[in-house]
Amino acid sequence: MQRTVIVISAGLGVPSSTRMLADQMAAAVQARLAGLGTETVLDVVDLRDYATDIANTMVSGYAGPALAGVIERVANADAMIAVTPTFSASYSGLFKSFFDVLDPKFLDGMPVLFGATGGSSRHSLVLEMAIRPLFSYLRARTMPTAVYASPEDWGQADGDGLDHRIAQAAAELAAVLVPAAPAGATPTPAGSAGPNHKAKRLARESAEMTSLPFEQLLAQTQAR
C-alpha cells in the first residue's frame, strides 16, 4: 500500500523555519504510516521557487509549464501538508496566491494537515481564524489538530510541546489515509486505492451531470 503526500511550504528564507516545520510534520506522518504498513511518498514543494509563476498566473490566468506541473502533482496526491509563515496575523500572500490559482475541485475531500510559523505565540490563532476557514471553503478534509511553531517552541521537551503536537496531528492524518478495518473485515490489498478523495469528487460530479433538469424537479414537486 502506498500513499502520496504533497508538502506545501510557503517559507521565504533559506534556511526557513516554515520549511523545517513542514519537514518535521511530513517525517512524522511518514513514520506513522510506516507503522501501519503503508509506504509514503513525500512530494515537497517550496512555493518560493514558483513565486514569479504564481504571480504571472494571477494576472494572466494561464499557468506556465513549471507551475502547471505542481498543480498536477497536487491533483494526484492522496493528502496534503501545508505550512505558511504568519504575516499580519494571517497566512502569507504567496501561500494564499498559490491556492487562488488552484482549481478548487482539486482539494475537494482531500485530507489536509496544516501548520504555521510566527515570531510569537500570540499569532497562533492564525490556524483557526485564517487557515482553517480557507481550507474549509475549498472543501478539504482538515485534521482536528493544526500545528503552530514560534521561536520558543523549537527544542521544547515538555509533554505538550511542539513534538507532541506534531505527533498527534500526524496520527490523525495517518488514521484518515489508512483507516482501521472493522473486526472480521477483509484487509485492503497492498497497492489498492483505499480512501480516495479524487474518486469521490468524480462520482459527485457525475451525479450532478445526470441530475434532473429544474423543470422536471419543479413538476414533481407540484405533483405532490
Domain ranges of the chain: 2-177
Beta pairing partners, 142: 112
HSE, CB side, 13 Å, CA atoms: give it for residue 43: 16
Q: Which CATH superfamily is domain 2-177 in?
A: Flavodoxin domain (3.40.50.360)
Q: How confident is the model at residue 43 (pLDDT cuts 50, 70, 90)?
A: very high
What integer pLDDT is reported at residue 151 of this predicted model? 83
Region of poorest pLDDT, from 41-45, 148-152, 212-216: 212-216
Q: Are 119 and 87 in contact (CB under 8 A)?
A: no
C-alpha cell at 18: 516554515
Q: Which range among 8-12, 99-103, 125-129, 203-207 shows the weakest confidence by mean pLDDT?
A: 203-207
Span 92-111, mean pLDDT? 93
> Is pLDDT at 163 greater than 60 in this prediction?
yes
How many whole angstroms separate alpha carbon 77 and alpha carbon 109? 12
Burial 144-183 (b: 16+ CB within 10 A, else e): ebbbbbbeebeeeeeeeebbebbbebbebbbebbbeeeee
Could you give the CA distance from residue 3 to residue 33 in angstroms, rounded to a whole number? 9
* Whole-angstrom distance, CA of residue 117 vs CA of residue 21: 8
How far apart are alpha carbons 100 and 61 in whole angstroms?
A: 11
